[in-house]
Structure 1
Amino acid sequence: MTALPPPTLDDLRRDPLPLRGRTALVTGASRRGGIGHAVARRLAAYGAGVYLHHHVPHDAAQPWGADPDGPAAVADSVREACGDPAARVVHGPGDLAEPDAPAALVAEAAEALGGRLDILVANHALSGADGPLDAIDAAMLDAHWAVDTRSVVLLVQAYARQRAALPAGPQGGGRIVMMTSGQDIGGGMPEEIAYSLAKGALASATRTLATSLADLGVTVNTVNPGPVDTGYLTGEAYDEIAALFPAGRWGMPDDPARLIAWLATDEARWITGQVIDSEGGIRR
């Protein structure tokens, strides 16, 4: 990265639109109750143009279902959060289990947002199709690897290539945030072997990817959002998890979204290669 001068008074004064003029791709932003939607709203509120990726068939197959009003309603909600009337909000589908889909998505998002992509938030994941050690099989392992790990690395690769192709000169402002699930904390995730292995690979790759993209002025970090209420658990089990938090409540989608949006700003330009827990002090 290019050496930066000491901060001026203007640097120290908070900009209400710190991402004005920048663009972002947020994957897995298909439900208004999800983390992707909350992240996109934060980025848009900070002035960024945002491309929302969705794969509705995945959500429709889950117990919580797809957003009843579809991806357009998600985009409308993000648009409402814009602090900059000129910010662009676009949405489009993509099955990231397909090998060519990540590169195609990055290209489509960059084109839709004016020809460049500054921020990549890889929020998507495969739910279900998993189990404990005795229940998993090759198909489960392959499915989670394809969506939860391979597609993210290919998204990062495509993002890096489009950044490298930008006109010469200091670019700065490049941000990648990946998502993991705290599989290395406490007792791990013995009931979700395939998912925890795939997400753990991203955590392990964070520093390597950060080093790989440093010359492009891009930071790479991974966030563990902890248990977040996205509508997947109810009843006594929900209450038991809530009781583990000192605050007595689950994390809400906007809790990790605040951290992720901050990592996208210049205030976080010196943070890279980190796996950061956003867990509200949960007792494991």
Structure 2
Amino acid sequence: MEVAEEGPLSGRVAVVTGVSRRAGIGFAIARGLLAAGARVLVQSWAPHDDEQPWGADPDGVEGVLEALGGTGPRLDHIAADFADPEAPRRVVDRAVETFGAVDVLVANHARSKLGGLDEVTAEELDLSWAVNARADVLLVQAYAAVRDDARPGGRIVLFTSGQHLGPMSGELPYAISKGAVHQMTLSLSDALADRGITVNAVNPGPVDTGWAGGEVAESVRRALPAGRWGTPDDVARLVRWLASDDSAWITGQVINSEGGFRRSAM
């Protein structure tokens, strides 16, 4: 891809977590921020993708980075497991070491594992909480500790899911931990509002990243008025706006970007 030197985010430094597959949301977000002129540190943890039915990117993280234009003056990468409580600080510190500052934090990463009430274990609940919720708080804390408030454009974007709009009883550890992200957004925004830093969360709705197939894919498609799933680029456009100066008056919000998804139609 061509990486813009000038754009609405020129001079800004962004951290984007969960960038390990070209089909994923994180990749589209990083690509959009680079195209807008930002310098970007991306975080990945490919072992999680290896555990999933869809698997890791066929060309590995190296292929992902190459598709983003390659590491260099505008792009850096760190592999980090957010099950480790020290990992969030290391990720943010890497951005400062590489680019000298951090302005935008996009916490897109997630641990996802199917499991209903009968299958829930204490181990999976703890791990989902650690990766999906605890890491977000620690990322925000690390960001706040190094953020230079004299720089413009302090932005934090978290990711929740649709658990507040409809039940997700087949993904309880994931839904419960993402519910925590939903609830933390307003309080974190208040903690940072006086510093000119906005904090918002995105519920991207059903997004085609290659995880669903067969009847599930068709059932969701029928429940979307546009007759298609959301795409990673749909999400990336919203995040790019939230990272920009145009969103300065928006904070503490959970934005449902679902294309009119009708759960009752499934």
Task: Check the 8 A contact 1:103/1:155 in 2, yes or no.
Answer: yes
Runs of 4+ in 1 over 6 A off after TM superposition: none
The structure that has the greater radius of gyration is: 1
Which amino acid counterpart does residue 55 of structure 1 have in structure 2? W
Could you tell me whether the CA contact under 8 Å between 1:125 and 1:148 is conserved in 2?
yes
How much has 1:154 moved relative to structure 2?
0.3
Corresponding residue SS for 2:69 = helix
The letter for the 1-side match of 2:240 is A
Is 1:44–1:87's contact at 8 Å kept on the other side of the alignment?
A: no
CA apart distance, 1:72? 2.2
User: Is 2:132 aligned against 1:148?
Assistant: yes
Counterpart of 1:276, as a letter, is I
Tell me if the contact between 1:26 and 1:51 (Cα under 8 Å) persists in the aligned partners.
yes
Distance 1:87 1:216, change over 3 A: farther
Take 1:236 and 1:198, find their aligned partners in 2: how far apart are those partners? 27
1:134 to 112, 118, 128: 118
Q: What whole-Å deviation, never above 9, does each CA across 1:38-73 have from its counterpart, x for those lacking one?
A: 000110010000111010111111111111112122
1:74 correspondence with 2:64: yes
Cα deviation for residue 134 of structure 1 reads 2.8
The unaligned stretches of length 5 or more in structure 1 are 1-15, 81-85
CA shift for structure 1 position 87:
5.9
The answer as to whether partners of 2:103 and 2:151 remain within 8 angstroms in 1 is no
- Is the CA contact (8 Å cut-off) linking 1:48 and 1:87 kept in structure 2? no
> For residues 112-136 of structure 1, what are the alpha-carbon distances to aligned partners after superposition, in whole Å with 9 as ceiling and x for unaligned?
2x210111000001121x4122321
Structure 2: gaps (5+ residues): 1-5
- Counterpart-to-counterpart distance in 1, 2:116 and 2:55: 24
State the one-letter code of the partner of 2:128. H
Q: SS state of the match for residue 15, structure 2?
A: strand
Residue correspondence of structure 1 range 149-168 to structure 2 within 5 A: 149-163=133-147, 166=148
Q: Residue 116 in 1 paired to residue 96 in 2?
A: no
Asked if 1:234 is matched to 2:213, the reply is: yes
Q: Which of 256, 264, 274 pairs up with 2:235?
A: 256
Distance, in Å, in 1 between the alignment partners of 2:230 and 2:262 is: 13
Quote the offset at 1:91 in angstroms: 1.2
Separation in 2, partners of 1:140, 1:109: 30
2:173 partner letter: A
Which letter maps to 1:179? F
TM-score normalised by the chain length of structure 2: 0.93
Q: Deviations over 1:56-97 (max 9, x none)?
A: 1111111111111121221222228xxxxx960111200111
AA aligned to 2:95 is A
Q: Which region of structure 1 is more displaced relative to structure 2, 70-79 or 96-105?
A: 70-79
Q: Which of the numbers 69, 80, 85 marks the counterpart of 1:94? A: 80
Structure 1 partner of 2:93: 107
Q: State how many pairs are aligned.
A: 257
Structure 2 contact 198–250 (Cα < 8 Å) conserved:
yes
